[in-house]
Amino acid sequence: MKMRNLMVGGLALAFALGTSTMAVAVQGKKGALEAIDKLAKKAKDASFADDCKSAAGSLELDPVMHSFKPRARGGFGIGPKAGLVPANQDGIEAYLPALSKKGMSAADAGKMSEPVIEMANRVLAIAEVSDHLWPENKESAKSKKKWLELNQLMKDGSKELAEAVSSKNFAAVKKAAGKLNTSCSECHSVFRD
């Protein structure tokens, strides 16, 4: 009887620890999404870079980077709700390659301009925050320099994308999306475990 009680108690404890760890992970991802979204809405403010630096103090890199994942996996989607783009493209990391290949047409601009500008501002906020959250397991000065270099490419690409969409320069949309997508690919080749 004592052995059974110990086993049941042990299983209950394991379950409680496992679910609380999952809750912390979800809260971290959700908290990062909320923080990044709030910052992205202030992308044109003079205090934007300082606000991002301040926010970085309460965020962790993994949940911030998880923001790039598809909506179905807990990241940002494209647009306010699912269905604006195909489900397999409903996330920043999934939509950028498509946008860099096909660009945006004048016909798409009506429904896609605002969501793409929102995406670009979110990426800008992620890059600004990430300047202060580089991967600690890659601690050499060379890798920090590369991290900051790729973050700058991401910032430049996101600003160029938002500007191109705002000014309806559709050729520049494709180019800026390509630059942004390149920053993601290069960063993954160096830093993603």
**Range of 16-30, 53-67, 130-144 with top mean pLDDT:** 53-67
Dihedral pair phi/psi, residue 91, rounded to 5°: -175, 155
pLDDT of residue 189: 82
Q: Model confidence at 134, in pLDDT bands (50, 70, 90)?
A: confident
pLDDT of residue 135: 74
Dihedral pair phi/psi, residue 70, rounded to 5°: -60, 155
Question: What rounded mean pLDDT belongs to the chain?
Answer: 84
pLDDT at 40 over 60: yes
pLDDT of residue 7: 42
What is the DSSP annotation of 133-177?
---TTS-SHHHHHHHHHHHHHHHHHHHHHHHHHHTT-HHHHHHHH
Residue at token pair 């949309």? 173
Residue range 84-111: mean pLDDT, rounded: 94
pLDDT at 23 over 60: no
pLDDT of residue 49: 95
Residue-wise pLDDT tens digits, 59-79: 999 999 999 999 999 999 999
pLDDT at 14 over 80: no
Reading the block at residue 180, the tokens are: 């942004």
pLDDT of residue 186: 85
Instruction: Tell me which of 89 and 145 has the higher pLDDT.
Output: 89
| Three-state DSSP class for residue 91 | strand
Reading the block at residue 124, the tokens are: 């800008």
pLDDT of residue 104: 93
Residue-wise pLDDT tens digits, 42-63: 999 999 999 999 999 999 999 9
pLDDT at 82 over 70: yes
Distance CA 181, CA 92 (A): 10
Residue range 134-154: mean pLDDT, rounded: 77
pLDDT at 144 over 90: no
Task: Give, in degrees to the nearest 5, the angle at Cα 116 between 50 and 161.
Answer: 65
